[in-house]
Each structure stands twice: as C-alpha cells, then as structure tokens.
Amino acid sequence: MASRKMTFTLPEDLAARFVRRVPARERSRYLAEALARKLAERDRQLIQACEIANRSSEVALIEKEFDALPDEMTEPWNDAPAR
C-alpha cells in the first residue's frame, strides 16, 4: 500500500500523552487506524442522516418542488435590452 508523509500540529498535552503511550515504531500505524475509525464513523453518521432525511415528509415535499423546476433556467439579465 502506498503511503504519504504528512505533518500535523497537535496540542502539547495530547502530543505528550501520545509520545508517552505509543512506542515510536507504532505511531504511524496507530494514527492511521485511529483516523480510519474516525472517518468511518463520520461516514456512518452521514449515511444515517441521509436515511432520516429521506424518510421525512417535509424533505419529500421540498424535493417535489425542486423537481417541478425546469432543467435550464434563463437568467433575467440574458434577455435585458442592450444599452
């Protein structure tokens, strides 16, 4: 698997705890796993929010209103008389 070197800034107390608790040779893997878990949780929350929104009658009504709009809308300034 390809890897990419990155630089991050952490609050001093968090950085100190990290250095104390995670051996130097395990830090990259530790951060990669923690980041992967956090991103997966965000994805799960986003999916859950979309599922909730898709069940909402209010959202369905808004979508119906948007569906009634034409695909292409003319801009009012396109038809304005030339000066």
User: Is residue 6 situated within a structural domain?
Assistant: no
User: Is 43 domain-assigned?
Assistant: yes
In a domain, 19, yes or no: yes
- Tally of domains within the chain: 1
pLDDT at 79 (0 to 100): 67
C-beta of residue 69 within 8 angstroms of C-beta of residue 75: no
Please report the pLDDT score of residue 80 as a whole number.
67
Mean pLDDT of the chain: 91
Q: Which stretches of the chain drop beneath a pLDDT of 50?
A: none
54 lies in some domain: yes
Q: Sign of torsion, CA 60 65 44 38?
A: negative
Whether 32 contacts 22, CB under 8 Å? no
How far is C-alpha 61 from the chain's CA centre?
A: 25
Question: Model-level pTM?
Answer: 0.64
